[in-house]
Structure 1
Amino acid sequence: IFWQADESGPPLPLYGDTVQERAKGIDFFDKRYNSWVWGEGDISQDDFNDDGHDDDTIASYTKIENNGGDGSHCHFVGWHYDVFPSCNNMHEIDLSYRHDRLIGHGYYRNVWIREDKTHVIKTMSFEHDFDGEQYTNQGNDALVMEKLTGSPLVVDVYGYCGTTVITEAISHEIAGEIVPSDYDDDDKGESNIQEESPDGDLKSDNKLSMDEKLQIALEMAESLADLHGFKDGVIVHDDVQPEQWLRTSEGVLKINDFNRAEVMLWNNEEGKYCKYRNGGIMGHYRSPEETQDLPLNEKIDVYSVGNNFYAILTGRWIYDGYSDRGAREKINNHELPFIDPLYRNHTYAEGALARVIEFCYVYDPEERPDIFKIVHVLRLAIHEHQFLKTRKQENDPDIVGHKLEQFDSLIQSLKVD
């Protein structure tokens, strides 16, 4: 079992202030790596709030958690409502300056870049009400970035006030490389539904090499592991899709947009995290438990990152050609997005990534792997892929078939753990 802590073996490197930092210096193949670096966050009794918030807030959240099946023993972690505003600095910014320009927008916010191009300002769109829900959601975004300042895989926050945040400027979205041909969700038609490649001609719709595809998949998984394994409590991103990752000029892939993030509550009576509900929601990128309004935890991110891996492998969006309603029906019925069977044995890298996608798509969240196992199998896949490349065996059908059988055995052992 590779991901559990093991005191045997060579000592941890001496540099670094914490065990986590020091462990990042050991080889990823060391079976202690995942446990030391990505060990799931622990909540002690001093780290959650029994009170400190008004009764209406506690009652409201208790009701939500009762719906999730965890009852009134669920409490906010101690930092859940930490606020670190820098409003004075924010109010000094003049957005009427002619060199400031709008470079993007999402459903809730507009993104402005400053003249020096070192930072961006995200402001609320006027189409939405400036209400308590929005202040909470945008505050979540700033809080998660602040708490994960130490992670090189999370966008850096520079300032926050109300519904506005200032972050480092990263202009390169990798979504366009993953799925080059974009489309309007309202204009999807059944004509784009994928079918098996004719005459065995397997071709991805993107131009990423398999080295790049495996590396991007690993980077996405590692950034989610920083959230799920945060030392002060599990954080669920809750909106995993390719557009959430940006590539810096130094080549670092960073995750951002945490306004839907869920800081999971802690049940000290049972010593576990409390599930929550979002209400039944639509969308191609949602897990079965989300579309059916069932209790949720961090496993929804694992299912959704499998959708990202699908796009990375094929160059297409999941359920391409289906409406949100049609995709929801398929998700509920566990009809998985179409993956050409040729991917499974075409090359080792393609076969391994196809298997990781299926691993993420385990229907029952209790049986679905955690993100740390996904990180683990992707690291092993990259290691084996590079090994076969150096021997020029990555396309040898007999060797590829044997190696993929070993990969299947590994995944199966992780499923039954």
Structure 2
Amino acid sequence: MKAPTPWRIRIARVLLFLRIKSSSILKISIVIFLCVTLLNQRKSGEEGYRRLDQISRNNVATRENIAQEGGVSDLRMLGYDSKPQSIGYYFSRDNRARGAQRLPRLQRRQTQKTVTIPEGETKAQLKLLNSRDYYNHAEDPFPPDNCVAQNDWQLKSYPSCSDLHEIGLHDLVRQMKDHNNGNLVGGGNYRDTWLVKDMTGKKLALKTLVYDGDFSKRNEDRHRRDALVSEQMTSSPSVVDIFGYCSNSALYEYGDNYDLEYAIVAQSSDYPDYYSEEEQLIIAVHVAAAIADLHSIDDPNRASVAHADIQPSQFILIDDVYKLTDFNRCRFIGWNEVDSKPCGFFVGNNPGHYRAPEEYKYEEETEKIDVFSMGNIFYNIMTKKAPFEELNWSKVPELVINGEHPSMEKSITNSTNAALKAILNATMMAWTYDPQERPSARYIANYLLDELNMISEALLQKSGLSLF
């Protein structure tokens, strides 16, 4: 009886018949293995997306919703879609933006990507160097012509990226088990604000470039200025502390009690008694002291920084003090060595209800724009209304340019209450039309502190500040 042929010999005969080498078998096996692996990954990824789609959305996430929930930890609650991967931003020959290009999933895993740009696209990009689009995304020039920086720090940057990398950011866009870590609690035109915790459990405010914002030199320089001013203001009890900065993101002191705008608008409707006149005066002292500290960052008699966006939402209640924050729109003030005086600056877009006449006229500006805006905050504190809030902001500039002020009730203008009279007097000082005649923030802060001290030394102690 003939012995059976071993299976190895049978396979070798088949391969010989098919003229297939053993090395090719290994290659074919590897290809089959990779295909099966990628297919399984794709299926698991699609299942993950389906699970995300099951998360309920809330497209009307209001300030009240956020306050009640302690923040928003899932961006889909705000109506955001998943952010696409992008590989650049370029324009077509007919000057239409191609935008951020989304890549196929497999191509995203490649370490190198090839982008084919049609003929003529490169020339179109070069033309952007002289275009309005390029100018709008470029950093603001500093120092201006014929001026120099007042201080070296105005030209520098001190990033501390390691401090930010210690914060776990991988779950910021997902619903997390710990709802007190990673919540989206606020934001502005340029940045989103997240509640995060460091390794010790301490609450911090992480600010990142807004979710749908593009990187630009202008935005990067905004955040550089914000970090520099925050760092220089560390000694002031009236300014929010900074703990780390890297490119378009930074870590700040966190406040559980939200901002002054929320306190005025929301709490005034919830609590009929609102703040007493004395408490209003303490808040006015906080506001004036913060702006005064900013304007005397290097020299008590000469400003080197203007905030350029003073409004109630920029003051956060931390440890019973309303502290100033958000310096990303600030302007550094240079020095004219020929004329031996500070250099003014220009801002290309000044919307809103809280601005000074020279801002609406787009004239040369100084730190005195912050003083005029401070008067509008005082008005807001006394009346519980924004200046000219019944009007669309586009109609406000003409009124302010013509020297008109928002109306106040007689109960305020004719009041005999010492605290309310002090705030009213400070408001009229701040509303001085001519910026050269307008008193400094320090002058108004000292006036309010004097008035507070005369009313009660206990109130002065309660303010957490002292006479300068």
Is 2:320 the counterpart of 1:243? no
Which secondary structure does the structure 1 equivalent of 2:152 belong to?
A: coil
Amino acid at match of 1:105: G
**1:217 maps to amino acid:** A
Give the AA of the match of 1:91: H
Larger Rg, first or second structure (1 or 2): 2
How far does residue 104 in structure 1 lie from its aligned partner after superposition?
1.3
The residue that corresponds to 2:105 in the other structure is none
The 8 Å contact of residues 134 and 163 in structure 1, kept in 2 or not, is answered as yes
Checking the alignment, whether the CA contact within 8 Å between 1:267 and 1:273 is kept in structure 2 is yes
The verdict on how the C-alpha distance between 1:72 and 1:206 changes in structure 2, with shifts beyond 3 A counting, is farther
**Residue in structure 2 matching 1:101, options 179, 183, 190:** 183
Residue 320 of structure 1 is matched in structure 2 by 389
CA distance in 1, matches of 2:239, 2:420: 28
Equivalent pairs counted in the alignment come to: 304
Matches within 5 A, 1:266-345: 266-345=335-414
* Correspondence 1:15-414 to 2 at 5 A: 60-61=141-142, 65=144, 72-75=146-149, 77-97=151-171, 98=176, 99=178, 100-115=182-197, 116-172=201-257, 173-180=259-266, 207-231=274-298, 234-248=304-318, 250-347=319-416, 348-386=418-456
CA distance in 1, matches of 2:205, 2:160: 15
Task: Map Cα deviations across residues 359-393 of structure 1 (whole Å, 9 max, x no partner).
Answer: 11011101111111111221222233339x9xxxx
* Helix, strand or coil at the partner of 1:160: strand
Q: 1:58 to 1:357 in 2, by over 3 A?
A: closer
Contact 1:279 1:290 in 2 (8 A): no
Contact 1:310 1:318 in 2 (8 A): yes
Call closer, same or farther: CA 1:73–1:111 in 2, change over 3 Å: closer
Residue identity over aligned pairs, in percent, reads 32
Q: Is the 8 A contact 1:157 1:167 kept in 2?
A: yes
Any conservation in 1 of the 2:356–2:369 contact (CA below 8 Å)?
A: yes
Q: 1:326 to 1:61 in 2, by over 3 A?
A: same
Checking the alignment, whether the CA contact within 8 Å between 2:308 and 2:369 is kept in structure 1 is yes
Compute the displacement of 1:352 (Å): 2.5
Q: CA deviation at 1:160?
A: 0.6
2:338 and 2:241 mapped to 1: Cα distance?
A: 35
Q: Which amino acid aligns with 2:159?
A: P
Could you give the per-residue CA deviations for residues 238-280 of structure 1, whole angstroms, max 9, x where no partner exists?
11011111111x3132111010111211122322211000025
Quote the offset at 1:60 in angstroms: 4.9
Tell me how far apart the structure 2 counterparts of residues 206 and 325 of structure 1 sit (CA, whole Å).
33
Taking a change above 3 Å as real, the CA distance of residues 383 and 132 of structure 1, as seen in their structure-2 partners, is: same
Aligned-partner residue type, residue 312 of structure 2: P
Please identify runs of 4+ aligned residues in structure 1 that moved more than 6 A. none
- CA offsets 1:82-138 (integer angstroms, 9 cap, x no match): 211112332343323333211111111111111435212100013222000000001
Task: Answer whether contact 1:179 1:206 (CA < 8 A) is retained.
Answer: no
SS of residue in 1 equivalent to 2:155: coil
Question: Considering only aligned residues, what root-mean-square deviation do their CA atoms show, in Å?
Answer: 2.5
Q: Distance in 1 between matches of 2:268 and 2:207?
A: 24
2:360 partner amino acid = T
CA separation of 1:296/1:95 partners in 2, compared to 1, >3 Å: closer, same or farther?
A: same
Relative contact order higher in (CA < 8 Å, ≥ 6 apart) = 1
Residue 74 of structure 1: how far off its partner (Å): 3.9
Q: Give the TM-score, by structure 1 length.
A: 0.68
Kept in 1, the 8 Å contact 2:150–2:304? The answer is no
Residue 412 of structure 1 corresponds to which residue in structure 2?
A: none
- For residues 276-329 of structure 1, what are the alpha-carbon distances to aligned partners after superposition, in whole Å with 9 as ceiling and x for unaligned? 000252210111000110011110000000000001111111102100111112
The alpha carbon displacement at 1:169 in A equals: 1.2
Instruction: Give 3-state SS (helix, strand or coil) of 1:213's partner.
Output: helix
> Is the Cα contact below 8 Å between 2:147 and 2:334 reproduced in 1?
no
Distance 1:93 1:58, change over 3 A: closer
Q: Would the aligned equivalents of 1:205 and 1:316 in 2 still touch at CA under 8 Å?
A: no
Question: In the alignment, is the contact (CA less than 8 A) between 1:179 and 1:205 conserved in 2?
Answer: no
Tell me which moved more, 140-149 or 76-85.
76-85
Kindly indicate whether the alpha-carbon contact (under 8 Å) linking 1:237 and 1:260 is maintained by their aligned counterparts in 2: yes
Q: 2:260 is matched by which residue type in structure 1?
A: I
Q: Once structures 1 and 2 are overlaid, which stretch shifts more, 130-139 or 74-83?
A: 74-83
CA contact (8 A) 2:238 2:324 kept: yes
Unpaired stretches in structure 2, ≥5 consecutive residues: 1-137, 460-468
1:39-85 residue CA offsets vs partner (Å, 9 max, x unmatched): xxxxxxxxxxxxxxxxxx999546xx4xxxxx514445311122111
Aligned partners of 2:411, 2:239: CA distance in 1, in Å? 35
Give SS of 1:114's match: strand
Asked if 2 retains the 8 angstrom alpha-carbon contact of 1:77 and 1:266, the reply is no
Q: Summarize the Cα distance change of 1:289–1:182 in structure 2 as closer, same or farther, 3 Å threshold.
A: farther
The letter for the 2-side match of 1:179 is V
2 CA distance for matches of 1:182 and 1:124?
32
